[in-house]
Structure 1
Amino acid sequence: MRQAAGMKSRTDGMWWGTAIEAPNPGGLARFYAELLGWHIEHEEATNVVVAASPQGPFFVFQQAEGYRAPVWPPVDGEQRPMMHFDFQVGDLDSAVAEAVALGATPAEDQPQENVRVLLDPAGHPFCLCLDEG
């Protein structure tokens, strides 16, 4: 089977990223920039880009009219989480404390001992995963 060489229409210097809908893209971008130690790469009123480096990876926070936060754990008939971030950490308790100080909320349902599910300021779930290796 032939290996894909990448998207032919993409050239060097073009960014790749994940787009996240939010009621307040600037506020959510600042939350993740602080949480990850990344920086704001570009900011407009309805679109804010957070980057690990000039080459990426990138998170793009986009204004969402009529935004409904996902419900964790999923509930029939409610907005389901469509994706979530996993971040590996060396100390689970201090990582949770840092995220909460920035505006995250621990989820009520915690299904694993070595993982903490938190909700970002817009209600998206994300996981802090203990590096046990």
Structure 2
Amino acid sequence: MPRSRRSRTSGRTYGRSSRGCWGRGRRSDGRSQGGGTGHHLADFYESLLGWSRRSDAPEWVELAPSDGGTGLSFQTEPLFSPPRWPSGASEQQMMTHLDIKVDDLTSAVERAVALGATEADYQPQDDVRVLFDPVGHPFCLFVRTDGGT
């Protein structure tokens, strides 16, 4: 039987279909981010990625790429505390982050910053830029330099 999950902040239940990540197909329908208002985060990533909204509820927004691939979901979490990056022993740890492949790193960083992102002070690689979305989730923009796709 498919499971559902309950938002920690609203108590609203978000069900998963049999095609969802806990159903027969055992595939992921997406990745969820929380923080502040889900709509604020969704607005940022919708503009950054050029994706469209698959669903839009008061505390939950789902974005999907035009090719039908795995999407992103955003939920409202009023008690969200942004992670620290690079990690510190006594602070909120980063759990996951997005890696976004771009063609031109400089222009992609400029665009992300114009949309509300902030560049991290520490940049570990020349072909990757670590940024923070408007509520503090780290994400990476990168240009593949090894000839891979």
Correspondence 1:118-133 to 2 at 5 A:
118-132=131-145, 133=147
Q: Does 1 or 2 have the higher relative contact order (CA < 8 Å, sep 6+)?
A: 1
Give the corresponding residue for 2:40.
Answer: 27
Which of 46, 50, 56 matches 2:63? 50
Instruction: Specify every segment of 5 or more residues in structure 1 that has no aligned partner in the other structure, as ranges.
Output: 1-5
Supply the distance in 2 between the matched residues of 1:48 and 1:62 (Cα, whole angstroms): 7
Instruction: Specify every segment of 5 or more residues in structure 2 that has no aligned partner in the other structure, as ranges.
Output: 1-19
Supply the distance in 1 between the matched residues of 2:143 and 2:107 (Cα, whole angstroms): 11
* Contact 1:15 1:55 survives alignment (8 Å): no
Give the corresponding residue for 2:4.
Answer: none
> How big is the shift at 1:44?
1.2
Give the corresponding residue for 1:9.
Answer: 23
Taking structure 1 as the reference length, what is the TM-score of the superposition? 0.86
> How big is the shift at 1:15?
7.4
Answering whether residue 136 of structure 2 is matched by residue 115 of structure 1, we say: no
Which of 32, 37, 40 matches 2:50? 37
Which of 62, 74, 85 matches 2:75? 62
Aligned residues: 126
SS at 1:9 equivalent: coil
Taking structure 2 as the reference length, what is the TM-score of the superposition? 0.77
Aligned residues: percent identity?
A: 44
> How big is the shift at 1:31?
0.6
